[in-house]
Amino acid sequence: MSESPYVIEVTADNFQAVILEGSMVQPVLVDFWAEWCQPCKTLMPMLAKLADEYQGAFLLAKINTEEQQELAGQFQIRSIPACKLFVNGQMVDEFTGALPEEQIRAFLDKHISHESDNIAEQAQQLLQQGDADAAADLIAQALEENPANSRAIIALAQLKASIGESDAAQQALDSLPEDEQKKPEVAAMRAQIVFDEVTVDAPPLEELEKIVAADAGASKARYQLAAQLVMHNQLEAALDQLMILLQKDRDYGEDAARKAMIRVFDILGEHPVAAKYRSRMFGLLH
């Protein structure tokens, strides 16, 4: 039996207190195992090590299925090792088999808050306030504590984008786990970075508006105008300009207007404006 304060043997007698009530305070990972199970003997020390490393961010509850057959039956355990994660008295996730440590960390980190999360959140708030230097210090602190912290990596990408280092921002986003890269906020960030690159050497918004008003065929200026409108958070106006460009000069920039509209949709997410212009775009293209 482990001497760790973060690892507890669970029986029918303490199940309620440790798992159901305990998970109201902190996540509880329940490991169903047996002495005869070789994969269990591989997984168990890894889980115990992580429980100690996470220092109480989660509790590891061990249930011997041979001795606690009623509990094993209650949870319909058919194969072991089987792990179930409880939060606020409810099972929220599970996995079976002796997964590699990296996958178990990713499993836990979906549900467990780290101090590095709080630090990264503070850094993002500082970035919104325009204090890049203070944000950079906090991001470095968060990544030192947990180099794989997705929130800290996203904050790093935001920092790099804010100071014009778009390549470094994209590299930071590329380092995220695959499931994190699929999140809408990451796609939105990638889109913002692209529009930011377009506006770096572009004329001011007011000048671009005069150019396209005087020359409806000024494709480059219209594309830059759309990018400037995105950076000014005028997303519907940006989509209007991109629709015009798509109609007048679809081949500009190797289909740049269509690609830019998709990026604006990424920024908008499920907003009704995105649905409206997506329908218009498809109608024009087909």
Tell me how far apart the alpha carbons of residues 31 and 41 are, in angstroms, rounded to a whole number.
Answer: 11
Residues near 163 by beta carbon (within 8 Å), at least 6 away in sequence? 132
CA dist list (Å): 126 to 119, 131, 154: 11, 5, 14
| CB-CB contact of 30 with 19 (8 Å) | yes
Cα 23 to Cα 7, 72, 88, 260, distances in angstroms:
14, 19, 5, 45
Q: Is domain 115-182 given the CATH code 2.130.10 in the classification?
A: no
Among 51-55, 151-155, 179-183, name the one with the lowest average pLDDT.
179-183
Is residue 186 a contact partner of residue 176, using CB atoms and an 8 Å limit?
Answer: yes
Check for a shared fold between 115-182 and 199-285: yes
Q: What mean pLDDT value characterizes the chain?
A: 90
Structure tokens that stand for 282 in this block: 């498809």
pLDDT per residue as tens digits for the range 46-71:
999 999 888 888 999 999 999 999 99
Strands 82-87 and 28-33: antiparallel
The C-alpha angle with vertex 159 and arms to 157 and 162, in degrees rounded to 5, equals 110
Residue-level pLDDT at 221: 97
For residue 181, give both structure tokens.
């890269």
Q: Which of 37, 72, 155, 225 is catalytic?
A: 37
Tokens matching residue 158: 């935001």
Euclidean distance between CA atoms 133 and 250, whole angstroms: 42
DSSP-derived 3-state class of residue 8: strand
The CA distance from 184 to 186, in Å, is 5
Query: Which one is catalytic: 10, 40, 83, 230?
Result: 40
Residue 213 has, within 13 A of its CA and on its CB side, a CA count of 6
What CA–CA distance (Å, rounded) separates 235 from 238? 5
Alpha carbon of 120 to those of 10, 127, 154, 157, 177: distances in Å? 35, 10, 9, 12, 17
Domain 7-109, what fold? Glutaredoxin (3.40.30)
Peptide bond into 27 cis (omega under 30): no
- Quote the CA–CA distance of 201 and 179 in Å, as a whole number: 34
Residue spans per domain, the chain: 7-109, 115-182, 199-285
Calculate ∠ Cα 209-210-213, nearest 5°: 85
What pTM was estimated for this model as a whole?
A: 0.58
pLDDT at residue 198 in the model:
92
CATH code, 199-285: 1.25.40.10
Q: Active-site residue 40, yes or no?
A: yes
- What pLDDT digit, counting tens, does each position of 209-244 carry? 999 999 999 999 999 999 999 999 999 999 999 999
Whether the CA torsion 98, 99, 105, 111 is positive or negative: it is: negative
Q: Over 50: is that where the pLDDT of 1 sits?
A: no
pLDDT digits (tens, 9 = 90+) for 108-118: 888 887 778 78
